[in-house]
Structures are given as structure tokens and as C-alpha cells.
Structure 1
Amino acid sequence: MATESAAKERTEAATPATSTPSTAVRILAHLRLMRPANIVTAVADILAGFAICGGAAGLIALGAEATTSPLFSSLFWLCLSTIGLYGGGIVFNDVFDADLDRQERPERAIPCGQASVASAATLASILLAVGIGAAFMVSLLSGAIAVIVASLAVMYDVLGKHRSLFGPINMGLCRGGNLLLGASAVPSSLADVWPLGLVPVVYIAAVTTVSRGEVHGGNRNALSGGALLYLVVLATLVTLAAMVPTGGHAAPFALLLAWLIIPPLARAWKTLEPRLVGKAVKAGVLSLIVLNSTLASIFAGWQYGIAVLALLPLSLWLARTFAVT
């Protein structure tokens, strides 16, 4: 008995004690779950949609009185809405992936014990509720779009990500809905501008297709498919710039977008290394801001496009601290 007791004591001494994470660590972990750098890209969706519907041009025309305009109030609520919707959707992603992440990504907040499934699910639910509530502050139409976006996000987390064809489309529809949420600031415009919601659908379908090889390594068919979809988006932007009177200054934005997304994808295609595939995915996600700034410049002028593009340094800075994928 004495020998067994001594052996037990040695074993316990050699095993690190499991400590409960501090409050600060838990708060930071839940913030990590929200992917702050990605949320900035969602705000850019709203700003681009706001340009497409004519809201940005309306505010610019008001000059110093813009901040007292109902349009400005709508823009504020819609930005708050997308923060809640995107944050809630991405946190639920980790909630439903908890078991898989324990094997493939043990560094994430839930597998490493800094957040629990219950606490993360609570946070996600609160964020989605805030996102939907903020949209209803603008209009019933905005609220309805927010409900659809929230439903699509949860659908992706539960079902879509596991479907090779439906998954990319599902995720793209979330972004397309987010763009139209921004455009809902001027409800009467949606009947004319809704087809532009397909641009982020195709773009995100490309990013999601590329991301299939992020953990175990890419395959050239998926990467080639992503490249083809990127080219469709770039061609659409060039066509829009040629058709819209204010689109003449969009070329630098479109060129910047191509420069940011194509080279990382080419490097991933060459080696198929998971690390390089991850970098290609990260470039695609963060370049959503450049996509949105291109759309914004087409419909509201280059100055507004620059204002949207100014979100990119913030997103890149946050990406240095918080994971993007």
C-alpha cells in the first residue's frame, strides 16, 4: 500500500495541475471566437451596399448635415447589425465544430478550455439577437433580411460546411445578404440592385472552395475552381465600372484586389501545402474589404471607395492578433 501511495504521489506531481482560466483570458478567448478581423470585412459589406443603393451619395450631398440625416442613423444601425450577425454566425461555427477542432485545431478557444461550448453558444445567441434587433431599428425589410442572413449563417454552421457544392453557395449567400442588408437603407432601391448581391456570393464561393484544403492540403481542382470564380468576379467589376457613370475610377481598386488574391492562390496551387492554402484563404477573406471598396467606388466615387478601403489596415492589424480562419 505504501509503495502504491508513493507511486501515486509521484504521478500526481508529474502531472500539471489544471487551472481555471482567469476572467481576462476567458474574455479574450470569446473575443477570439468572434474573429474581429473578419467582422471588419462584414462592416465593409454594409458600406458597399449603402453605396449601391444611393445612400452614400445622399450623405455626401448633405455635407456637414449628414450626421443628422435618417440615412446616417440607418447606416449606424446596419453596421451594428452586421457586427452581431457575423459575430454570432462565426461563434456558432466553433460551437458546432468543437469535437472536430479538438482533433484538428486544438489551439482554438473551446478545445483548449478557455471557453466552453455553453458559454460560446450563449455569446453567439446574444450576438445574433443584437444583429436582428438592430436591423429592425431601420425597417421591417432590413429586419427580415437580417433574419434570413442569421438563418443562412446557422445553416452553414450546422449543414452547409459539410457539403462540397452547397457549402460555398450557402456561405456566399450570407455575404450577398449582408450586402443587400446595407442596401436596405433605401428600401425602394432593392428591386433594382438586388442582382449585385450575387457578386459576393461568387467571391465567397471561391474563398470557401479554396479553404477545403486548409487543414490537410489542397487539391488543384479546387484551387483552379476558386481561381476561375475569382476571375468571374473581377470581370464583373470591370463590366460594372464601364456601365456606371461614376465607375471610371474603379480600376485601381480592382487591380489591387487581383494583386492581393491571385498570387497567394498561385503559390498554394503550386505546392498544395496546407500553410499556403491557409494564406490564400486569409488573403481572400481580408480582401473582401477591397472587393467592397471597388463596388463602393463604382457607385459613390473614388473618395468613398478610399473610405471603405481604410478599413483594410484595421482588419490586417486585428488579423495579427486574432485568427481569421
Structure 2
Amino acid sequence: MGSSRLFAYLQLTRPANVVTALADIWAGFAVAGAWAFIALDLGSDQHEYLLHLAWLSLSTIGLYAGGVAFNDVFDAELDAVERPERPIPSGRVSKASAAWMSFLLLLLGVVSAAQVNMVSAVIALSVALLAVLYDYWGKHQHILGPINMGLCRTGNLLLGITVVPELLQKFWPLGFIPLVFVAAITMISRGEVHGKNKVALYAGLLMYVLVILSIGSMPLLHDTSIWEVLPFLALLSYMVFPPLIKAIRTQDPKLIGKSVKAAVISLIIVNSSIAAAFAGWKIGIIVLLLLPISLWLAKKFAVT
């Protein structure tokens, strides 16, 4: 496979976005308290949790990459009109090849999760099905579409928590945070091509505020200091609010696109904030280290 063709296949998977999915898993690990086992020299336990982290990280890479690639498969005809430069309409990747790659990536995601436990496998399978449902049907639904997309991220965060599966019963409500944040991004992104969606932009703004307030309240419920979380929330606010406010003022599709791109990348900051709230600022920084990687990849590959 030539380098140009390989680049086209990579374009289908949105590499910068895939890195944000890794942050979901790493934050889930923080919620489950698993980073403590990795940090401490506990011999076989440390090795086991490192292995689980690797398997679940590989799982989310397959799930996210396969899901977004399937999106281009289902959108091939529309992209031929609106975005002809994309890999499938441009002829650099055939629709059939893209479909097979997408299926195999989703399969990789489920099989990798199964190496941890069956609860992980079930969650991974649910994420895969939700992703395909969104690609085929959900994105065309005005209300259910954003919820469908948000549920994919909810499942991804919960997938990280399944490293200690019995904790899902206690912490599953945390899934509402990525659900609301991603639903907001999905609503806002509908104006990326044509603009003129001020109601959705304002709704997205309010949903971002709700997410930040929710994460900010977590230290009140857990044994962490608010000061360990506030710097992450300040960075999150800096990333999402200025571009969104500009988009609201102008209704310019390009500025809406920039706002969406900033919010997608900021999913890493959302996760680092959650990690800091549960495991302290040092673990928050570990998750945040994914941000420069995602930003670098965003310069090479499209985010939306």
C-alpha cells in the first residue's frame, strides 16, 4: 500500500479524534481507582492493570476509528456533493474497502475489550452498535441523533470503568457528562456546512456550562480538592467558549466548524478534569498529555 493510499485510509479514521477516545478510557481508569495500582509497585497487580489499560486503549481505538470510518461509508453520496475531497468520493479509497476496514476495526474493539472481562466486551459491543446506528440513522434525527452520539461517548467512559466492573453500578451516572457534552457538539455541528442554527448554538453553550458545573461539583463528593480540578476547568472554558461565542455572533459556517473542532479536541480536557476530580491533579495531567498529541494530529487530519 502506497503512502498516499495509507494516508487516505487514516483520514477515514480521524486520528486526532481517536486520541480523544483514549482519554475516555484513561478517565474511566481514574474513576475506578486503577491508576493507583499502576503507580504503586505491586508486582503482578501492577502488571495486570497495565495490561488491562493496554487492551481497553486498543479497544477504544478500534471502536472510534471504525465508527467514524463507517460514517464516511454511509455519507459517500452526500460527501460527493458537499465534501468531494474526502477519501471515498475522491476515489482514493473504495466504498467497499472502507466498509471492510470499518467492520474489522469495530471487531478489534470488541475482541480487545473481551480480553479484560465480559462486562467490558458487552459495553464495547454496545458502543459499536450505537456508532453504526448513529452513522446510518441517528445523525438524521433532530433530537435522538445528538443523544445517540452522546451515548457512544458515555459507553466509552464506562468502558474504562469496567476494569473494576462492580463499580459500574455506583458510577454509571457519570456517563451523563460525555453524553451532554457530545450531544452539544453534535447539535452545534449541524451548522458547519450551511450555518444559521443560532438556537442550537445557544443550547450547546448552556450544555457546556452544565458540564463544567457538574465536574466542578465532583470534589464535594470525593476526597479531592476543588483546586486540583479548577485549572483543568479553566483550560476547558478557554478552549470551548471563545470560538463558540464567535460562531454565535457571526453564524459563519467556518467559525462553527472551528468551534466544533475545538470542542472535539476538548473532550480530552473534560476527561482530564474528571480524572483530577477522582484521582488528583497528577493523574489529570497524565490524561491531559494526550492533548498535544491530538492537536498535532488535528493539523495533519480533519477532525470533522
Q: What is the TM-score normalised by the length of structure 1?
A: 0.91
Q: Return the letter of the residue paired with 2:47.
A: S
Aligned residue among 149, 174, 177 for 1:196: 174
| Partner amino acid, structure 2, of 1:142 | S
What letter corresponds to residue 288 of structure 1 in structure 2? L
Alpha-carbon offset, residue 67 of structure 1: 8.2
CA distance in 2, matches of 1:317, 1:304: 22
Residues 181-240 of structure 1 show CA distances to partners (whole Å, capped at 9, x for unaligned) of: 000001111110111011100000111011010001142101000001101101101111
Which residue identity is paired with 2:181? Y
The 8 Å contact of residues 31 and 275 in structure 2, kept in 1 or not, is answered as yes
Offset from partner CA, 1:146-178 (integer Å, 9 cap, x none)? 000000000000000000100100000000000
Distance 1:169 1:247, change over 3 A: farther
Q: How does 1:66-145 map to 2 (within 5 A)?
A: 68-145=46-123
Q: Give yes or no for the alignment of 1:274 onto 2:241.
A: no
**Alignment correspondent of 1:146:** 124
TM-score for the superposition, normalised by structure 2: 0.97
Q: CA deviation at 1:65?
A: 4.2
**Pick aligned residue for 1:235 from 191, 203, 213:** 213
Amino acid at match of 2:141: R
SS of aligned partner of 1:216: coil
Is 1:245 the counterpart of 2:243 in the alignment?
Answer: no
Q: Secondary structure at the match of 1:246?
A: coil
- Partner of residue 288, structure 2: 309
The answer to whether residue 31 in structure 2 is matched with residue 48 in structure 1 is no
Query: What is the RMSD computed on CA atoms of the aligned residues?
Result: 1.2
Equivalent residue, structure 1, for 2:139: 161
Question: Which residue number in structure 1 is paired with residue 184 of structure 2?
Answer: 206
8 Å CA contact 2:37–2:45 kept in 1: the answer is no
Change (3 A) 1:66 1:310: farther
Write out aligned runs for 1:2-13 (5 A). Answer: none
User: Looking at CA atoms only, which structure, 1 or 2, has the larger radius of gyration?
Assistant: 1
Conserved? CA contact 1:37–1:319, under 8 Å: yes
1:254-308 Cα distance to aligned partner (Å, 9 max, x none): 1110110011000000000000000000000000000000001111110110011
Q: Does 1:289 align with 2:268?
A: yes
Q: Which consecutive residues of structure 1, in runs of 5 or more, have no partner in the other structure?
A: 1-21
Q: Judge which range, 68-77 or 268-277, deviates more.
A: 68-77
- In the other structure, the counterpart of 1:221 is 199
Cα distance in 1 for partners of 2:186, 2:97 equals 27
> What amino acid is aligned across from residue 47 of structure 1 in structure 2?
W
How many residues are treated as equivalent by the alignment?
303
Q: Deviations over 1:22-50 (max 9, x none)?
A: 73221110011000000000000000011
- The 3 A distance-change label for structure 1 pair 141 and 64 is closer
Aligned pair in 2 of structure 1 residues 302, 65: CA closer, same or farther (>3 Å)? Answer: farther
Please identify, of 210-219 and 146-155, the stretch whose mean Cα deviation from structure 2 is larger: 210-219
1:289, 1:208 → 2: CA distance?
17
Greater CA deviation, 140-149 or 215-224? 215-224
What residue identity is the alignment partner of 1:163? Answer: Q
Equivalence for 1:8: none
Specify the SS of the correspondent of 1:185: coil
Contact 1:46–1:82 (CA under 8 A) maintained in structure 2: yes
How far 1:68 moved relative to its partner?
4.4
Q: Distance in 2 between matches of 1:243 and 1:122?
A: 45
Letter in 2 for 1:278: G
Contact preservation (8 Å) 1:180, 1:197: yes
Q: Is the 8 A contact 2:123 2:159 kept in 1?
A: yes
Percent of aligned pairs sharing the same letter: 52
Structure 1 stretches of 4+ with a deviation exceeding 4 A read: 64-68
| Whole-Å separation in 2 of the counterparts to 1:23 and 1:129 | 25
- Give 2:285's aligned amino acid: I
Letter in 2 for 1:109: P
Q: Is the 8 A contact 1:66 1:72 kept in 2?
A: no
The 3-state SS of whatever aligns with 1:123 is helix
